[in-house]
């Protein structure tokens, strides 16, 4: 069933960053990313985005706490300062992504591809990095 789905800002109460008719929140987010919409500060906490194609997504400062991003493609995405606490990033492609100052505490990054990702000042406290690919990363403190 298609319904209007709104993606709201986590920073400014009531601010709608994107609205579209879609089958799911995942489909709406994918459409926004494909259209080049800047979703900086979006409130996507707990959203199921498993397997989503979010290549080059503009999600700086977004709230993705507890989101399911397992198997998603976030290659080249801007997630600087994003809240990814407890997010499931199992087998997620984060190659070339900017995660500078992101909070990944307790996140599951099992077998995630972080090749060439910017990990400067990232909080990985309690994160599971088993089997994660970490080649050519930027991690200046």
- Paired with 133 in beta bridges are 113
Summarised one tens digit per residue, pLDDT across range 68-122 is 999 999 999 999 999 999 999 999 999 999 999 999 999 999 999 999 999 999 9
CA dihedral 11, 13, 19, 25 (to 10 degrees): 70
> What does the domain layout of the chain look like in residue ranges?
3-34, 38-141
pTM for the whole structure:
0.91
Neighbours of 120 (CB within 10 A): 16
Share of the chain above pLDDT 90, in %: 78
Summarised one tens digit per residue, pLDDT across range 111-126 is 999 999 999 999 999 9
CATH of domain 38-141: 2.160.20.80
């Amino acid at each position: 069933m298609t319904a209007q789905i709104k993606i709201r800002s986590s920073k400014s109460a009531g601010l709608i960053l994107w609205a579209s008719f879609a089958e799911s929140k995942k489909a709406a987010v994918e459409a926004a990313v494909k259209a080049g919409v800047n979703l900086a500060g979006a409130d996507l906490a707990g959203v199921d985005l498993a397997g989503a194609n979010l290549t080059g997504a503009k999600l700086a400062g977004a709230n993705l706490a507890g989101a399911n991003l397992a198997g998603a493609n976030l290659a080249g995405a801007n997630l600087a300062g994003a809240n990814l606490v407890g997010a499931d990033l199992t087998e997620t492609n984060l190659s070339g992504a900017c995660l500078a100052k992101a909070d990944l505490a307790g996140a599951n990054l099992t077998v995630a591809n972080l090749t060439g990702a910017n990990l400067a000042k990232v909080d990985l406290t309690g994160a599971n990095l088993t089997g994660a690919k970490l080649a050519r990363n930027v991690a200046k403190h």
